[in-house]
Amino acid sequence: MGKGQSLSDLQSATVANIAIILLVSVLAITRLQVVIQPLVIAVLLFLLIRPAAQWLEERPLMQGKYAHPLMPYGVLVAMLFLVLWMASQLLYANLTAFTDEVPMLTQQLNDKVTWLEGISIMGYSFDISGLTELFSVETIDQYIASFVGSLASFTVNVATVFIFLLFIILEAETLPRRVKAAYPSDAERIEDITSNAGEGINTYVVTRATVAFGQAVIAGIMLWYLDVPGWFMWASITFMMDFIPYVGALISLIPPILLGLIILSPTWAIILIVVLVTNQQVWGALVEPQLAGQRLDMSPIVLLLLVAFWGWAWGIMGMVLGVPLAVIMKIALESDPRTRPIAMMLSRDPKVAEEE
C-alpha cells in the first residue's frame, strides 16, 4: 500500500532548516538587492535564451570555421538590446509629450468636473470633489514617474546584468561536469531541477509575453486612434504590468480610462472602456489558457502573496520577477521528498498519491 507523508512525519529539524533558510533569504534579498537582483535577472535571461541559442548553434552559419560558442548568445543579446533601445526612445518621447500636456489636461479635467457638478437630477447634484482629489492628472503623472523610475533603476544595473550573464554563459559549459564530480549522487536531481526550471520559465515567459504583447498592440492602436496623450507609454505599461498576475493588467487600464473620460465625449469614453476591458478579458481568459493550459501549476493566492512580497522587496521589477522565481522555488521543493508536501500545498491541482 502506498503511504503518504503526514504532518507528524515532518521532522522538527526540517522545519527549523526551512525557517532558517527563509530568514537568511529574506535578509539577503532586502539587504543585498544591488547584487542579487542583477544576478537573478541574468539567470532568468540565460534560461530564457538558452533554447533559442541552442537552435542557432545548429544553423550552418554558426558552425563555420570562425564560429564560436558565444556567437548565438551574442546575436540574441544584441537583438534584445536593440529592441529595448528603440522602445526606450519612443517611451521617452511619449513621456515628454505627456508631461508637456499636463497643464492642458488639468484644465480639461476642471472643466469636466464643473460640468458634472452643474448637472441636477430630481434636485440632486453630483459632488465629486473627493474623487478628483484621489484621481487627478497629477496623480497619473506621479504614477508614470514611479513606473519609469523603476525602469530607470533597472537600466542602471544593465551593465551588471550583462556581466553576470556573460559569466553564466561561460560557466554553463563546465558547471554540469563539476557538479557531477563534486556531488555524484545529487547530480541527476540538480540537472532535473535546472531542466524543469528552464522549461517552466520558458513556458511562462513566452505565453505571458505573447498575451501581453497582443493586449498592448490592440490597446495602443485604440489609444492612438482616439488621440489619447501618451498612447505608446500606456501600451508599454500594459505590456509590463501584464506580467503581474491577476491585478497588473487591470491596474494598467485605470490611467488611460481616466484620460479618456477627461478628453473624450461620453460616447467615445464608453467605447474606449468597453474595448480596453474586453481586450484584457479576451486575452487573459480565452487566449492565455489555450497557449499555456494548466502548465503553470501554482495556487492563485500563493502567487498573489509572492508577488506582494517581491513588490515589497524590489518594487515593480520584483513583482515582474515574482512568478518565474515562484516556478523555480516550487520545482526545487518538488525535487526533495522532505519538502515535496510544501510544493503540493503551493499547487493549484496537486497530484494525490493513490493507494494500492
Taking a C-beta distance cutoff of 8 angstroms, is the pair 92, 100 a contact? no
Taking a C-beta distance cutoff of 8 angstroms, is the pair 106, 136 a contact? yes
Give the CA angle between residues 306, 310, 311 to the nearest 5°. Answer: 110
Taking a C-beta distance cutoff of 8 angstroms, is the pair 259, 106 a contact? no
Residue 135 DSSP one-character state: S
CA distances from 65 to 52, 57, 61, 71, 224 (A): 21, 13, 9, 13, 49
Q: CA–CA separation, 328 vs 319, rounded Å? A: 15
Q: What is the predicted pLDDT for the residue at 48?
A: 75
Task: With H, G, I as helix, E, B as strand and everything else as coil, classify residue 121.
Answer: strand
Number of H helices, E strands in the chain: 15, 2
All structural domains of the chain with their residue ranges? 33-346
Q: What is the predicted pLDDT for the residue at 2?
A: 45
Please write the tens of the pLDDT for every residue from 259-272. Answer: 888 888 889 989 99
Q: Within 13 Å and on the Cβ side, how many CA atoms surround 312? A: 7
Q: What is the predicted pLDDT for the residue at 356?
A: 39
Q: What is the predicted pLDDT for the residue at 221?
A: 93
Task: With H, G, I as helix, E, B as strand and everything else as coil, classify residue 351.
Answer: coil
The stretches in the chain having pLDDT less than 70 are 1-15, 61-69, 113, 115-139, 141-156, 197-198, 289-297, 350-356
Q: What is the predicted pLDDT for the residue at 4?
A: 52
Q: pTM of this prediction?
A: 0.70
